[in-house]
Structure 1
Amino acid sequence: MNNRPPEPVYPGLLSRIWARIWDALRPFDPYRSVKAALGALVIVSVTITTLLVFVAIRTSTELRIVTIFSIIATMLITQFVAHGLTSPLDEMKTVARAMANGDYSRRVQAVRRDELGDLAETFNHMAADLEAVDRHRKELVANVSHELRTPIAGLRAVLENVVDGVSEADPETMRTALRQTERLGRLVETLLDLSRLDNGVVPLRSRRFEVWPYLSGVLKEANMAAAARAHIGGPGARADVHLHLDVSPPELTAHADAERLHQVVANLIDNAVKHSPPHGRVTLRARRGTGGPDSLNLEVLDEGPGIPESERHRIFERFNRGGVSTPHGPGSDGGTGLGLAIARWAVDLHGGSIGVAESPRGCRIRVTLPGTPKAHG
């Protein structure tokens, strides 16, 4: 004979049933606003007092007894309602104190449907934003410390060898020192761009220019920089990747800040080259946009592994080094993870958009610039 107790009901079943009942009663919920809750409190208190007075009249009960019972009942109901109204505020106070001590992981249980529930949800969004900012700050310190330590250590070792007479100041030794110095320079330039990004207010010096010669100059600079890094053996040097420019029509013009647009194109080209296969091809394509006069559509296409759809919303975040697709080539590294974030910042300054477009092969980044604002009559 089996004397085991019956199996308990699955605990999640009751909670789901109650959640459905709660949702079904939502249109009749008197606590959809604080005003409704306070109004319900007044109505219930008056109703109880009236009923007690009516009972007293019918039963010849003394008025002071009725008054005492009315006060007790009203106080109990008021305490119950007040506890329900103030509990989110108490919880927010506790979470705020935890955040003041550096703990950004705690959240408020936003179960109410009134204004306090909305406030709790807003509070949770603020806590999530602060947690992200704190995480970015820690990542910034860690990444900058890592990026600075390597070239400084290499440069120090080279100089110490020259001073101690271990090696001579020959061209090869100087090229090694120059390589580390250039890496430091690139990092400092990136940090300056990040500082401008955080300050938020950067004036745009927009002008009208011809797209073909402008982009041709940007690609020529990229080729020269890649050849120089390959000559001195810098990290991530990729002189084997072919850069191709496709502008149609050839007389295409645009209206933008040339310096900021240079940041966008240079960062996108650099990222595409890093992720291209050996002897790959990177194409920079420019077309007329559908916005105002001199609007511009830019696309940078590579032949690399591409970006999974689940990762596309993260590639423009700071310090995202693209953990899914590893850069190709000897000595390649993920950089500081700020290049695409800076590109998005520069595009946002123009009021444009940047994102990952569908591509049958590799990765395609699309940039849309609005051009000259339309005049309103």
Structure 2
Amino acid sequence: MGRLRHWAWNALRPVDPARSIKAALQALVIASVMITTLLVLIAFHSKTGIRVITIFSIIASLLITQIVATNLTAPLREMTAVARAMARGDYSRRVAGVRRDEVGELAETFNRMAADLEAVDHHRKELVANVSHELRTPIAALRAVLENVVDGVSEPDPETMRLALRQTERLGKLVSQLLDLSRLDSGAVLLDAKRFEVWPYLSAVLKTAGLGMGGTHASGTRFRPRADVPMHLDVFPPELVAYADGERLHQVVANLVDNAVKHSPPGGRVTVRARSGPTPGSLDLEVRDEGPGIPEADRDRVFERFHRGSRPGRDGGTGLGLAIARWAVDLHGGRIEVAESPRGCRIHVTLPGKPSGQR
């Protein structure tokens, strides 16, 4: 019954003046003809002259046409005003009093476009503000160190130079992450997925990340490991093979482990666990720490750009690492989420493996 009613509702649209401009114009013509005919009949049965009747019929037709035209074009005039406001940078305006006809559908689409542009503009302003803040902090710290050295307040000893190097590394890491996000937005990154052995790959990623062994971070900056946080790699079976883009997966693992180490207490262990997924080449990956965990209210937002959440830790970071990890996982068509854990934080990553039809 409901389907029949829906079909009848759509079938009657072409003849419904409230939902079709064509039907409204047809109704206008019919109304004008009927009024003219009625006035002519009145003229035949009365002493009123045909000229007077003609003038009255023209006036009536013009009035009806004016009313209908004003009603039909009101949303178009409002859209013009809103578009001019948007050209001046005001994206908060919307088209009100939306009709049910084709012009109303255009107005609804226009409102959705305005809402999208407002969201993009808000995101752009937020991004500029966050990037400015993130760049200002290490630059101010580096400037203070160098000014102290130039003014003779501090000696250019190894400890002072290490402090300056640390701020330079922070700047390099932020710039590298912003470049990754720029490639994300432009859609310029393509996957180069291949089969690989999981154990040696993850072992090499941890070594390259410098965790407990020194080395280079995935962003290209030097990483200072925490010797008080032991690492554990758990891969089963040991000969496990998966299918993914090695460089993009490197970003995922390095950023997740980096985040886990930052929030681990002294002596807290970080575990990277890998298992086979349900389909050939798929991979279930987990990174666990023994830190304070992520509050439930923040679990849906930790993968947003510049979102640091309320989890206490040693370093707030830039709020970009988890956003980049989600981007890399999304490129694979996989899933990343904060999983339930009795202790600490557990990030669960699922990669689908080789698409069907590929060799």
TM-score by length of 1: 0.78
| 2:236 matched residue in structure 1 | 248
Query: Aligned letter for 1:374?
Result: S
Q: Which residue of structure 2 lines up, in the alignment, with residue 285 of structure 1?
A: 273
Partner residue, 1:124: 111
Task: State the one-letter code of the partner of 1:366.
Answer: H
Moved more, 186-195 or 299-308: 299-308
In terms of mean alpha carbon deviation, does 234-243 or 174-183 score higher?
Answer: 234-243
Give the length in aligned residue pairs: 342
SS of match in other structure, 2:307: coil
Is 1:206 equivalent to 2:188 in the alignment?
A: no
Query: Is 1:328 equivalent to 2:292 in the alignment?
Result: no
Equivalent residue of 1:294, what SS?
Answer: coil
Q: 1:82 — aligned with what?
A: 69
Distance 1:118-1:208 versus aligned 2 partners, 3 A rule: same
Partners of 1:143 and 1:336 within 8 A in 2:
no
Task: Provide Cα deviations, 1:195-245, integer angstroms capped at 9, x if missing partner.
Answer: 21222121322211111222233334445279799xxxx999865545443
- Please report how far the alpha carbon of residue 282 of structure 1 lies from its aligned counterpart in structure 2 after TM superposition: 4.1
Report the AA paired with residue 351 of structure 2: L
Residues 17, 24 of structure 2: 8 Å contact kept: yes
Contact 2:329 2:335 in 1 (8 A): yes
Equivalent residues of 1:236, 1:274 under 8 A apart:
no
Matched, 1:339 2:321: yes
Sequence identity percentage: 71
Give per-residue Cα distances to partners, 1:305-362, cap 9 Å, x unaligned: 43435x554433323232xx23323xx22x3322222222222322333344455665
Q: Is the 8 A contact 2:270 2:289 kept in 1?
A: yes
Q: Which residue of 2 aligns with 1:7?
A: none
State yes or no: 1:163 paired with 2:146: no
Shift of 1:104: 1.4
CA contact (8 A) 1:110 1:121 kept: no
User: 2: distance between equivalents of 1:153 and 1:267?
Assistant: 25
Closer, same or farther in 2 for the Cα pair 1:170/1:79, shift >3 Å? same
User: What is the SS of the residue equivalent to 1:59?
Assistant: coil
- Residue type at the aligned position of 1:182: E
**Cα distance change, pair 87–171 in 1 and its aligned pair in 2 (3 A):** same
More off after superposition, 236-245 vs 187-196: 236-245
Q: Partner of 1:113 in structure 2?
A: 100
- Superposed CA deviations along residues 35-61 of structure 1, whole A, max 9, x for unmatched, are 232233233333333333333334354
* SS of residue matched to 1:247: strand
Residues 1:95 and 1:239: Cα distance change in structure 2 (over 3 Å): farther
Q: Aligned to 1:286, what secondary structure does the other structure show?
A: strand
Asked if 1:216 is matched to 2:203, the reply is yes
CA distance in 1, matches of 2:213, 2:37: 88
For 1:319, which of 301, 306, 325 is the aligned residue? 306
Structure number with higher relative contact order (C-alpha < 8 Å, ≥ 6 residues apart): 1
Partner of 1:354 in structure 2? Answer: 336
The one-letter amino acid paired with 1:121 is E
Decide which of 230, 240, 247 is 1:259's aligned counterpart.
247
User: Structure 1 residues 363 and 376 mapped into 2: Cα distance closer, same or farther (>3 Å)?
Assistant: same
Do the aligned residues in 2 keep the contact of 1:288 with 1:295 (CA within 8 Å)? yes
User: Which ranges of structure 2 fall in alignment gaps of 5 or more residues?
Assistant: 1-8, 217-221
Quote how far apart the aligned CAs of 1:260 are. Answer: 1.0
Mapped to 2, the partners of 1:80 and 1:105 lie a distance apart of: 30
Q: Does 1:101 align with 2:83?
A: no
Contact 2:233 2:272 in 1 (8 A): yes
- Partners of 2:287 and 2:346 within 8 A in 1: yes
List runs of 5+ in structure 1 lacking aligned partners: 1-24
Tell me the secondary structure at the aligned position of residue 371 of structure 1.
Answer: coil
1:50 and 1:278 map into 2 onto residues whose CA distance is 95
What SS does structure 2 have at the residue aligned with 1:68? Answer: helix
CA shift in 2, pair 1:282/1:35, >3 Å: farther
Structure 2 partner of 1:146: 133
Task: State how far apart, in whole Å, the 1-side matches of 2:198 and 2:275 are.
Answer: 9
**Contact in 1 for aligned 2:215/2:223 (Cα 8 Å):** no
Answer whether contact 2:98 2:108 (CA < 8 A) is retained: no
